[in-house]
Structure 1
């Protein structure tokens, strides 16, 4: 799966936070995460659906915060009860995939990210990553990376 390195402006995602244990994707369901998505999908949103990964360590077995919600332009777009996750401007590796089995999609995406790391094509900064859902069957996953890796990979 090809990816592109792109420079992005600051990204704001309003939503519901879930503190999740970091584990292999697709191995364990997280009922707290499912409950948050259910609430967001049945609540008020004013932008495209998105999810952020912040405040986490690199090692499996540690924790991170996943905020599920939607992209917003300002704090004025945030309904009561939601928090805002702020991802800094910077260089991101953009991985995109489509399909109808989200567990398979996410496993495929993260395997590609880890493989790009192993090949030395990207060096993650762990300043925050996010998922953007352009339509019902697609995911764009943006991973924060060192800007020393520049250009576009096909």
Structure 2
């Protein structure tokens, strides 16, 4: 895995579906992330999000951290939008604050393996680097179209 690059991003507004979980739960039969992705994909949730940017990629946001990667957090899967005034029932609006982010690019490979592998690297990397544990997100653009050979970027908020 390559070292991350760093960028300063503008604020982004996102509408999507969500769940609360923790990493230890995701290793059990009580896992919530895979079922949330399944709901998003099989019900074409991305198509029902109002006011989305043209050709908006799917974004998976990690927020509301209880503490660090060991505690609870909220995962929202959705699309970037122009405004958040028309949030459909059973969805939430999130605002990813502008600021400094580290970008980790996965290798090309099979989902969800490459995402988990990249997060494992981030957890090790963050032991020596100042993560903010505010808003982190996965960015699924055209490199995600083939889930058997895709690439994902993960943006991690920095202090």
Query: Number of aligned pairs?
Result: 142
Corresponding position of 1:150:
none
Corresponding position of 2:40:
40
Corresponding position of 1:97:
106
The alpha-carbon deviation at position 78 of structure 1 amounts to 4.5
Corresponding position of 2:10:
9
Corresponding position of 2:133:
126
1 or 2, which has the higher strand percentage? 1
Corresponding position of 1:72:
81
The alpha-carbon deviation at position 139 of structure 1 amounts to 1.0
Corresponding position of 2:68:
58
The alpha-carbon deviation at position 89 of structure 1 amounts to 0.8
Structure 2 CA distance for partners of 1:133 and 1:30, relative to 1, 3 Å:
farther
Corresponding position of 1:152:
none
- Give the TM-score normalised by structure 1: 0.78
Contact 1:49–1:133, Cα closer than 8 Å, also in 2: yes
**5+ long unaligned stretches in structure 2:** 145-149
The alpha-carbon deviation at position 92 of structure 1 amounts to 0.4
Corresponding position of 1:108:
117
Corresponding position of 2:147:
none
Contact 1:51–1:130, Cα closer than 8 Å, also in 2: yes
SS class of match (1:108): helix
Provide the rounded CA distance (Å) in 1 between the counterparts of 2:19 and 2:119.
19
The alpha-carbon deviation at position 114 of structure 1 amounts to 2.5
SS class of match (1:138): coil
